[in-house]
């Protein structure tokens, strides 16, 4: 049974709604995630991003015209927040996706083939895991003058895949020694079948949850790096908003500017919480033992 079919069957059995109904936190997480998805897709159409600056209107408190007040140049905070969600979500998901693909490739190869190749891959992974991750990511981000969120996601993924690859390898190793795989081998089923129809479905839960974890880590790392001010992403996004508010425009000294400063922080924390909570729900969805 393929992973896809299995998940579909669980959906049909209403397991998904069952989990969401009694796991309120996961439900809230999903709700928030959908909200952020709307914010990134439909939001920019509703809120016009102002490019013209008017310093007379700088650091205005929230009002009917500007729901979250204005920034250091008198531009609407809410519009920036809405437009800024795009980059962050793109960075998070592109780095998670690239991490997943790389880790899946390396982890499966190492786990299935074993031997010399496995030893060397594991050694390389060990090295990657011991290298100080933040400094090198920051250096690469700064050095390559990253201009778009996709490349940023890629740089982050370069340091996230090794951990996941090691996890996938040990999952594969555990599965390999299970009876049903041995039976497949006795039945002389093609390797393609064993990999895609027997092994993969069993690691889908592990992959899904780690996808979310990598996305969370990527958000933290990217915002931190942008806060240092070394990535010249020109478009407004939450990290750059924070960089401007916290280090360059003195917004931390102006009480009226607090909405401008706090809005991106609140969004980042909510997004992190939503991902965490949803991952908790997914765990329950995949693991019948966790369901009461």
Which residues form the interface with other proteins (CB under 8 A)? 123, 126-127, 130-136, 138-139, 142-143, 220, 223-224, 227-230, 242, 246, 252-253, 255, 258, 261, 265, 268-269, 272-273, 276
Shortest Å distance, C-beta 202 to other proteins: 23
Q: State which residue, 191 or 228, has the beta carbon closest to other proteins.
A: 228
Report the distance separating Cα 111 and Cα 166, nearest Å: 9
Shortest Å distance, C-beta 260 to other proteins: 12
Q: State which residue, 52 or 116, has the beta carbon closest to other proteins.
A: 116
What single-letter DSSP state applies at residue 248? I
Report the distance separating Cα 15 and Cα 21, nearest Å: 10
Residue 240: Cβ within 10 Å count? 22
HSE-CB for 23 with a 13 A CA cutoff: 24
Shortest Å distance, C-beta 273 to other proteins: 4
Tokens of 75: 């531009």
Report the distance separating Cα 168 and Cα 157, nearest Å: 16
Q: State which residue, 168 or 223, has the beta carbon closest to other proteins.
A: 223
Q: Which residues of 249-286 are buried (b: 16+ CB within 10 A; e: fewer)?
A: bebeeeeebbbbbebbeebbeebbebbebbbbbbbbbb
Enumerate residues 6+ apart whose C-beta is below 8 A from 268: 88, 219, 223, 238
Q: State which residue, 126 or 287, has the beta carbon closest to other proteins.
A: 126
Shortest Å distance, C-beta 183 to other proteins: 32
Enumerate residues 6+ apart whose C-beta is below 8 A from 55: 73, 74
Q: State which residue, 47 or 273, has the beta carbon closest to other proteins.
A: 273
Give the torsion through C-alpha atoms of 81, 87, 93, 95, to 10 deg: -140
Shortest Å distance, C-beta 73 to other proteins: 20
Q: State which residue, 36 or 194, has the beta carbon closest to other proteins.
A: 36
φ and ψ of 70, to 5 deg = -125, 165
Shortest Å distance, C-beta 37 to other proteins: 19
Shortest Å distance, C-beta 196 to other proteins: 33
Q: State which residue, 67 or 258, has the beta carbon closest to other proteins.
A: 258
Q: State which residue, 6 or 25, has the beta carbon closest to other proteins.
A: 25
Shortest Å distance, C-beta 17 to other proteins: 23
- Cα 23 from chain centroid (whole Å): 22
Residue 138: Cβ within 10 Å count? 18
φ and ψ of 109, to 5 deg = -60, -50
Tokens of 40: 């990134």
């Amino acid at each position: 049974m393929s992973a896809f079919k299995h998940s579909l069957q669980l959906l049909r059995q209403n397991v998904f709604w069952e989990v969401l109904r009694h796991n309120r936190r996961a439900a809230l997480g999903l709700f928030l995630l959908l909200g952020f998805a709307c914010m990134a897709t439909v939001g920019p159409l509703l809120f016009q991003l102002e490019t013209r600056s008017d310093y007379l209107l700088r650091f205005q408190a929230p009002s009917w015209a500007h729901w979250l007040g204005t920034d250091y140049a008198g531009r609407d905070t809410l519009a920036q927040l809405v437009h800024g969600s795009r980059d962050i979500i793109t960075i998070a998901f592109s780095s998670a996706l690239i991490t997943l693909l790389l880790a899946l490739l390396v982890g499966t190869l190492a786990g299935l083939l074993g031997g010399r190749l496995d030893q060397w891959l594991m050694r390389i992974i060990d090295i990657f895991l011991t290298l100080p991750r933040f400094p090198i990511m920051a250096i690469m981000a700064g050095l390559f003058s990253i201009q778009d969120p996709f490349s940023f996601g890629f740089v982050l993924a370069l340091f996230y895949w090794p951990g996941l690859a090691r996890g996938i390898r040990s999952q594969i190793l555990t599965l390999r020694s299970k009876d049903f795989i041995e039976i497949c081998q006795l039945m002389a089923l093609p390797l393609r079948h064993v990999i895609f129809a027997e092994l993969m479905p069993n690691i889908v839960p592990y992959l899904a949850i780690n996808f979310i974890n990598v996305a969370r880590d990527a958000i933290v790392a990217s915002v931190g790096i942008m806060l240092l001010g070394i990535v010249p992403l020109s478009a407004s996004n939450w990290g750059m908003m924070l960089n401007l508010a916290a280090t360059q425009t003195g917004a931390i000294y102006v009480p009226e500017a607090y909405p401008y400063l706090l809005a991106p922080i609140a969004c980042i924390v909510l997004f992190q919480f939503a991902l965490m909570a949803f991952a908790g729900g997914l765990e329950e969805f995949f693991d019948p033992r966790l369901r009461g």
